Structure 1
Amino acid sequence: MMTHVQGVIAAKVDSQSNLKHYVEQKADVTKSVSLENFSFQTLADVTKTILFHAFWLSEQKQNLSLKDYKKLLFDRGWKGEEKKYLKIAAAFGKFSPQDFAQVEPRTIYQLAENSKKYQQVIDRLLDLSEITQEGVRSLIKKQQTPREAKPEKPSIWRRIKNGRRYCQIPPIHEASEQTGTTLQRMMDEEGLTAQHIVAEAIALRQAYKQGQLVLAQEGVEPGE
């Protein structure tokens, strides 16, 4: 369905002549369209030109020596600008420039600059009989739909500046206020801190869970 880039770009093309020919050819086509469709036709030409240039530049990097490739970039003032086009070539290597004639340029850059994030979107474009701006945006939107957040696991731990941590029991809300009043009474009668009493209570519960303690039934003496 889609034409591979190798079918679009001839190997070892001459940079200046091919780019000049492509631009002149597209300029002639643009002159023939009506004013009503001018902006859309021009936008399509921009997108295709970006992809054509990206594929062409990638081809030059593969075929030229490192020295000649750097000279190419230097001579045309592209040094530092080539990376985004190489990303485009890498992201859309399974397509042809014509495939994206209905996609605006910014979307192409968005997908290429974040190819890992949007790899699923790029792969799904291969399944479309026609790639449109609306179709691409729809795929992007579906991928960005937030998943239902999982409830966070409750934690009593807090950390202080020196890196040490401490536990903090959340507020206990009871209509009867039984836990709070009982704890306060123990503190008043025994002169203990709330932390000490809670620690003892947790230790006793842990011992019971491990079978080291048993609950005494009312009216039954131990050992009966």
Structure 2
Amino acid sequence: MMTRLQGVITAPVDSQSHLKHYVEQKADATKSINTDNLSFQTLTEVTKTILLHAFWLSEQKQNLSLRDYKKLLCDRGWKGEEKKYLKIAAAFNKFSPQDFTQVEPRTIYQLAENSNKYQQVIDRLLDLSEITQEGVRSLIKKQQTPRKARPEKPSIWRRVKNGRRYCQIPPIHEPAELTGTTLQKMMDEEGLTAQHIVAEAIALRQAYKQGQLVLATKD
């Protein structure tokens, strides 16, 4: 089982000495890398470094005053860039950077930037004995199973700039054009607008549906 990182941020750390020590560690480790595996190992070190930096930056934010934290960002040219790393720290605070040495960097950013969407994926990683790129991608793929699209509900409503709305009846297509010709005849003979006639027709139909009118039949 992988080692979970519980309570990563525990005490204030001097940022300069911490980074210097980390860089020295990385330099020593680089000397021992087998050139046959250089590309893969370098990539996994990048992922690990991203997580280490994210946890470290989150630690600084918690332990430094707001003024000192902002100064730290400005001094290192990170202002505006820190948010993505804070998201990583928040998304993976139950893990250790070592847990993700088999995961490429872009996947880490993808999960962290969309942590609400992929929270189930992140939670399921806790159940894995080993986190691999293939395993993470498999969980993401299952999460992205397309859902059946709901049919769009037809609407006659439109809205104007002042916020008021109006109804717009869609075009009526009929082979015999009975509705259109009848409406036009009523407009010509009675001098009424199409809107007025349609409103009357709907009112009459509503009254009939409510039992206020009955359909007369000839004997």
Tell me whether the two structures share a fold, i.e. TM-score over 0.5. Answer: yes
TM-score (norm 1): 0.78
After superposition, the C-alpha distances for 1:174-213 in whole angstroms (9 at most, x for unaligned) are 2232222322333333333322222221111111111111
Q: What count of residue pairs does the alignment treat as equivalent?
A: 219
Cα distance in 2 for partners of 1:43, 1:163 equals 54
Higher relative contact order (Cα pairs below 8 Å, separated by 6+ residues) = 2
Mean Cα deviation higher: 92-101 or 156-165:
156-165
Q: Does 1:84 align with 2:77?
A: no
Q: List gaps (5 residues or longer) in structure 1.
A: 220-224
% identity of equivalent residues: 87
Structure 1 contact 156–169 (Cα < 8 Å) conserved: yes
Contact 1:30-1:38 within 8 A present in 2 as well: no
Q: Deviations over 1:81-129 (max 9, x none)?
A: 5443333222111001111101122322332233333322222222223
Q: How far apart, in 1, do the equivalents of 2:130 and 2:29 lie?
A: 22
Distance 1:79 1:118 in 2: 27
Shift of the 54–184 alpha-carbon distance from structure 1 to 2, 3 Å rule, reads closer
Letter in 2 for 1:123: D
Q: Report how far residue 60 of structure 1 moved.
A: 4.2
CA distance in 1, matches of 2:141, 2:151: 24
8 Å Cα contact 2:157-2:165 kept in structure 1: yes
Specify every segment of 5 or more residues in structure 2 that has no aligned partner in the other structure, as ranges. none
Q: Give the partner amino acid of 2:54.
A: A
Supply the AA of the counterpart residue of 1:140. Answer: I
- CA contact under 8 A between 1:159 and 1:166: conserved in structure 2? yes
What is the alpha-carbon root mean square deviation over aligned residues? 3.1
The residue correspondences of 1:173-192 to structure 2 (distance < 5 A) are 173-192=173-192
In structure 2, the residue matched to 1:106 is 106
Distance 2:201 2:194 in 1: 11
User: 1:120 matched to which residue of 2?
Assistant: 120
